[in-house]
Amino acid sequence: MQERIQKIKDQLHAASYKLTPQREATVIVLLENEADHLSAEDVYLKVKEKAPEIGLATVYRTLELLAELKVVDKINFGDGVARFDLRKEGAEHFHHHLVCMECGAVDEIEEDLLGEVELKVERDYNFKIMDHRLTFHGICHRCQR
Ligand SMILES: [Zn+2]
Ligand SMILES: [Zn+2]
Ligand SMILES: [Zn+2]
């Protein structure tokens, strides 16, 4: 945990930002809830438990900053709510998601399965791919039982 906080701190410093206590509290909440896909409001409620003085606007700004610096990715699963998701360490591209249409669970695929597709797109469309979003909608293994 400490090591990952340090890494994020370095990313902020490289872009001339400081890891203020409020920003750190936000980062810790994201790390502690890494498997979840929290909305800004969810993050705010959890940060507030640690730092009651923090305001929603501060949390919003921190999340936007972290998104800009590619520490987190912002994702929308079609319900109109922006969610914040930590980028996997060393991952060049954003991971993929499996969204269950029955229970709403969101699972992750960490491997980037798109290598060949990316090559084809780059070749056929002369398009330099920087990132992608891929969400599969279906029925999760729990709901299939
Ligand atoms: Zn995710
Ligand atoms: Zn990729
Ligand atoms: Zn399910």
34-64 pLDDT tens trace: 989 999 999 999 999 999 999 999 999 999 9
Counting DSSP H helices and E strands in the chain, the numbers are 6, 6
Mean pLDDT (whole number) for 4-11: 95
Q: How far apart are CA 96 and CA 110, in angstroms?
A: 7
108-81-59-107 Cα dihedral, nearest 10 degrees: -10
Mean pLDDT (whole number) for 26-39: 95
Q: Considering every ligand atom shown, identify the ligand nearest to the alpha carbon of residue 103 and give its number.
A: 3
pTM for the structure as a whole: 0.86
Strand-pair partners of 99: 106, 137
Distance 145 CA to ligand 1 centre (A): 24
Distance 138 CA to ligand 3 centre (A): 8
Q: Residue 78 gets which letter from DSSP?
A: S
Which residue ranges make up each domain of the chain? 1-87, 93-145
Contact 96, 103 (CB under 8 A): no
Is 13 annotated to bind a ligand? Reply is no
Q: How many CB atoms lie within 10 A of CB 63?
A: 23
pLDDT given for residue 89 in this prediction: 79
Q: Do domains 1-87 and 93-145 have the same CATH topology?
A: no
Distance 26 CA to ligand 1 centre (A): 17
In words, the CATH class of domain 1-87 is mainly alpha
CATH 3.50.50.60 for domain 93-145, yes or no, is: no
Would you state the structure tokens that stand for residue 95, as one six-digit string? 């991971």
Distance 100 CA to ligand 3 centre (A): 5
Distance 15 CA to ligand 1 centre (A): 24
Q: Which of 104, 122, 145, 127 has the alpha carbon at shortest distance from 135?
A: 104
Q: How far apart are CA 121 and CA 127, in angstroms?
A: 7
